Amino acid sequence: MPAVISISVLTTLVWLLLGREFGYALARGISVLVISCPCALGLATPVAIMVGNGLGARNGILFKTAASLEAAGRTQIVALDKTGTITSGKFEFVRCECVHCHCIDKHNHRELLRIIAACERLSTHPIAKSICLAFGQFADDCVVTDAKNYAGMGVSAVVDGVRYYAGNEKLMQKIGVPFTETQLVGTAVYCCTDTEFLGDIVFADIIKTDSREAIDRLHRMGMKQAIMLTGDRESIAADIAAKAGLDGYYAKLLPEEKVQRVQALQQQGHTVLYAGDGINDAPVLAAADLGVAMGGAGADVAIEASDMVIQGDSLSQLPVGVTVARKTVGIARENIIFAIAVKLLIILGCAVGIFDENAMWLAVFGDVGVCLLAVANALRVLHIRKKKK
């Protein structure tokens, strides 16, 4: 504002020094002052962002801040969690094997299933929910106390007075109990006490029907990479990555290791989007340039840590959100460039006397007219439509 007022006063003084009458010189100075009013610049970005946020909300996408929307528009690499993001998070039972009876009939493993279901009773992980849904009735009579969660590894609990552990191979290694790792493609939950390995059950996660199309669309939009970061085994990660059309994957990652992977990509100069839904995803959601929470079945802590929330669980909404963000940021830039260019042109014309007869109405157009044009241009964001299959 000091600069604008100074230019206006200087314009008036210059014309007076050139011998023009006071009224003429004052009119030139006022014209410069009117055109310099920053209304159009003030509305250029906020209106575009408001319209972009509205369109996102209409498609079930919530951008928490303007910075979130801008980061989505700059995204170069997409990193995705597996369970509940690429896959449905609804696990189907594949096999149960007990060390003591060596039988693969789940009905003959009632005791093992009972212990695992009891341990998983208080967990909110999708695998735990699937186990409790399938075998929870076996553990109805169990007394469960002192339940603990091991981030990225599993859970433990005292069941009927005995401490049991249920989780992945990292949890077994942490406890230090010798165990046999399953070779089946699927998510394995191993069970042990402090001294003895009891057996395992295997569930298979199903890829979402729209995951492949969503990732293909992200590639067509010019994303440099779409990768998967998962705590599951190598064989599972390879299978899901191939089915989903991903560029790569990293398996057997703990939450802090996911953060390290994202930070490594950021250090290479990339803008990284990470999408996930679980409690274990909260650290990496916060670390990414844009954390996206799958809000339909996502954990509250993941939603809180994210910058953008997809209300449903459909991955196809992710490219829609990126498209809205890119269009919004592009239009905001157009508004700023247009407003500055028009204002500079009219300020120059008014100051040097090119627009002698029309200076005042041109100044008004440069203020109010450009402001209205910026608002109208921002409404172009509404022409984005969600791509139908």
What sign does the CA torsion over 246, 247, 251, 254 have?
negative
Torsion of CA 365, 371, 372, 374, to 10 degrees: 130
Torsion of CA 370, 373, 377, 379, to 10 degrees: 130
The whole-number average pLDDT for the span 15-29 is: 79
Per annotation, catalytic residue among 81, 232, 313, 367: 81
Cβ–Cβ < 8 Å for 290, 308: yes
Task: Report the candidate in 192, 199, 195 with the shortest Cα–Cα distance to residue 98.
Answer: 199
The whole-number average pLDDT for the span 93-99 is: 77
The whole-number average pLDDT for the span 35-59 is: 81
Calpha distance 246→243 (Å, rounded): 8
Q: How far is CA 224 from CA 138, 220, 221, in A?
A: 48, 10, 9
In the 8-state DSSP scheme, what is residue 178?
-
CB neighbourhood size of 337 (10 A) = 11
- Would residue 81 show up in a list of annotated catalytic residues for this protein? yes
Q: What are phi and psi of 93, to 5 degrees?
A: -65, 130
pLDDT band at residue 385, thresholds of 50, 70 and 90? low
Calpha distance 41→38 (Å, rounded): 5
In the 8-state DSSP scheme, what is residue 167?
E
Task: Report the candidate in 59, 1, 16 with the shortest Cα–Cα distance to residue 382.
Answer: 59
Greatest distance between any 2 Cα atoms in the chain? 109
What radius of gyration do the chain's Cα atoms show? 30
pLDDT band at residue 90, thresholds of 50, 70 and 90? confident
pLDDT band at residue 103, thresholds of 50, 70 and 90? very low
Cβ–Cβ < 8 Å for 367, 40: yes
Cβ–Cβ < 8 Å for 195, 216: no
End-to-end CA distance of the chain: 51
- 181-213: pLDDT as tens digits: 887 777 889 999 998 999 888 888 788 889 999
Cβ–Cβ < 8 Å for 291, 274: yes
Which has more confidence, 295 or 111?
111
Query: Three-state SS for 192?
Result: strand
Amino acid at 34: V
- Please name the residues in contact with 284: beta carbons below 8 A apart, sequence gap of 6 or more: 79, 229, 255, 258, 259, 262, 274, 276, 291
Q: What is the pLDDT of residue 171?
A: 92
| C-alpha neighbours within 13 Å on the C-beta side of residue 94 | 18
Record the tokens describing residue 226, joined without a space.
């779409």
Amino acid at 326: R
The whole-number average pLDDT for the span 160-164 is: 91
Give bridge partners of residue 164 from the DSSP assignment: 157
- 304-353: pLDDT as tens digits: 888 999 887 788 899 999 999 998 888 888 888 888 888 788 777 766 76
Is it the case that residue 143 has pLDDT exceeding 80?
Answer: yes
Is it the case that residue 273 has pLDDT exceeding 50?
Answer: yes
CB neighbourhood size of 15 (10 A) = 21
* % pLDDT > 90, the chain: 27
Alpha helices of the chain — where are they, by DSSP H? 2-17, 22-35, 39-58, 66-73, 110-119, 126-135, 169-175, 211-220, 234-244, 255-267, 282-287, 300-305, 317-352, 359-364, 370-378
Cβ–Cβ < 8 Å for 295, 311: yes
Task: Report the candidate in 11, 33, 12 with the shortest Cα–Cα distance to residue 23.
Answer: 12
Specify the pTM. 0.71
Query: Three-state SS for 248?
Result: strand
